Chain A
């Protein structure tokens, strides 16, 4: 079973900031939180990963509260090309060769002109 819960879909307009929140109430102590972006008929693309507090890279920010039971992906000033499905994932299993990522439903983001 997926360990994360996200909104099924979100709408936004070009130039706006988009925040997608993910719940992971049963996150394990050693789990990292990873976000991927997927366009139709393509493999998922890594966006950002974090463990706690805030992480920022050239495309997004990731906010993780102290209890780590949720996380928020923030996309600044979205454009039409950001229309995609966004997946929040935490690991499943011990951090060894059996560690795997189970995808939840993802959030389908639609950016309008």
Chain B
């Protein structure tokens, strides 16, 4: 149980294009989903927290207009990297939490974004 999927697992795009990454909780409903970014040899950095049906809360220094997050249902959140540039190349990981009142999060397998 508690499986989180991400799609795509990797994507290569040209500079200036937008890329959408999906995060799904497959066997549970997630009231909250989180998006992280990880650069090589570094730890995960929390980008934003999204609650179903409300606007995402972004961490300091993360551009909300650059990284659009939509959490339209209890099983799906999407991250859109708008007008991607090479410096946006990174490993993007989502996680989902079954419900408020617990702190257990289940992570997706990650999406490798390469911007040329």
* Residues of A that sit less than 8 Å from B by CB: 31-32, 34, 36, 41-46, 49, 87, 91, 95-106
Contacts and interface: CB of A to CB of B under 8 A. Distances in A.
A31 B112 CA distance: 32
B103 A98 contact: no
A95 B32 CA distance: 12
Given A95-B103, A104-B43, 18 more contacts: A34-B104, A36-B107, A42-B110, A43-B95, A43-B107, A43-B110, A46-B106, A49-B104, A87-B43, A91-B103, A96-B101, A97-B32, A97-B100, A99-B103, A100-B49, A101-B95, A101-B103, A103-B44
A89 to B, nearest CB: 9
Interface residues of B, number: 29
B51 A97 contact: yes
Interface of A: prevailing SS = loop
Contacts of A49: 104
Interface string B104-116: 1111111010000
Contacts of A95: 100-103
- Residue of A31, A36, A101 contacting most chain B CB atoms (<10 Å): A101
B45 interface: yes
B107 A106 contact: no
